[in-house]
């Protein structure tokens, strides 16, 4: 849910990175954090377990610049991908303005991708959102791995509606900013429509 503040002339929006466990959601945020100018970013917070698995969420505040005198700020969140953290995922989706679904391209993770996407659809619906209408992009991560499924099949299975989609290798940054920019654009376009 965007927050428009006339007093401080700011627009704040919330983007959530969703996807199965170990698909690279946190790695996306870490790359964005590492490559962003210090003046444009806040502190990155990771609420993780001792083994570096996301326990509740990662959070990264970013400033993208100004539109008509308003500073645009995006709050990026990840959800914990592991199946049993569903209650936490629901909480993090509250007030979301845009969603990135990070798919794991590996053949062995296709079932987990499908399950996570369905879980996203159900959890969004519980909050009164429709995945078919909310600003939404898909990222196919881990494209560098030898067991990566072909793009055609990923598209057919995970993106039949053909929303903007990006091939990615998050640790090297391939596709990371493309993904972020495309979802941010969709969010601002939605805001323009008054959504």
Partner 1 sequence: MNSGLVMYEEEFRLIAGICDRLTRDANAKVVFLIDKNGQLIAASGQAQNLDTTSLASLTAGNVAAMGGLAKLIGEKEFPNQFHEGERESLHMSIVAARVVLVVIFDAKSSLGLVRLRVKKAGEELARVFDGLAKKQAMPGAQSPFAEITDDDIDNLFSE
Helix (H, G, I), strand (E, B) or coil at 58: strand
Answer for which of 40, 83, 91, 125 binds partner 1 (CB under 8 A) is 91
User: From CA 35, how far away is CA 136, in angstroms rounded?
Assistant: 23
Q: What is the residue whose two structure tokens read 């959800």?
A: 79
CB of 119 to partner 1, least distance (A): 16
In terms of CB distance, is 54 or 105 closer to partner 1? 54
In terms of CB distance, is 134 or 149 closer to partner 1? 134
8 Å CB contact between 77 and 13: no
8 Å CB contact between 192 and 165: no
Burial of 114 (0-12, 13-18, 19+ CB in 10 A): middle
Which range in 37-45, 104-112, 153-161, 166-174 contacts partner 1 by CB under 8 A?
A: 37-45
Contact call for residue 194 and partner 1 (CB under 8 A) = yes
User: From CA 102, how far away is CA 158, in angstroms rounded?
Assistant: 10
For partner 1, the binding residues in 131-190 under the rule CB under 8 A are: 133-134, 181, 184-185, 188-190
| Paired strand residues for 165 | 138
In terms of CB distance, is 1 or 145 closer to partner 1? 1
- Binding-site ranges for partner 1 (CB under 8 A): 1-8, 11-12, 14, 42-43, 45, 47, 56-57, 59, 61, 64-68, 70, 72, 75, 87-88, 90-92, 94-95, 97, 128-129, 133-134, 181, 184-185, 188-195
């Amino acid at each position: 849910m965007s927050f428009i503040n006339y007093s401080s002339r700011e627009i704040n929006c919330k983007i959530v990175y969703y996807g199965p466990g170990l698909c690279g959601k946190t790695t996306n945020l870490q790359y964005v954090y590492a490559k962003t100018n210090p003046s444009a970013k806040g502190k990155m917070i990771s609420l993780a377990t001792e083994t570096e698995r996301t326990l509740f969420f990662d959070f990264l505040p970013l400033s993208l610049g100004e539109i008509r005198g308003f500073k645009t700020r995006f709050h990026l969140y990840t959800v914990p991908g592991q199946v049993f953290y569903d209650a936490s995922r629901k909480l993090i989706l509250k007030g979301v303005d845009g969603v990135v679904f990070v798919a794991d391209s590996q053949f062995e993770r296709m079932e987990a991708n499908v399950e996570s996407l369905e879980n996203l659809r159900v959890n969004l619906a519980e909050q009164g959102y429709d995945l078919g209408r909310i600003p939404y992009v898909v990222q196919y991560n881990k494209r560098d791995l030898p067991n990566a499924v072909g793009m055609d099949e990923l598209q057919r299975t995970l993106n039949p509606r053909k929303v903007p989609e990006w091939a990615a290798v998050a640790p090297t940054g391939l596709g990371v900013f493309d993904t972020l920019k495309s979802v941010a654009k969709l969010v601002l376009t939605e805001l323009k429509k008054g959504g």
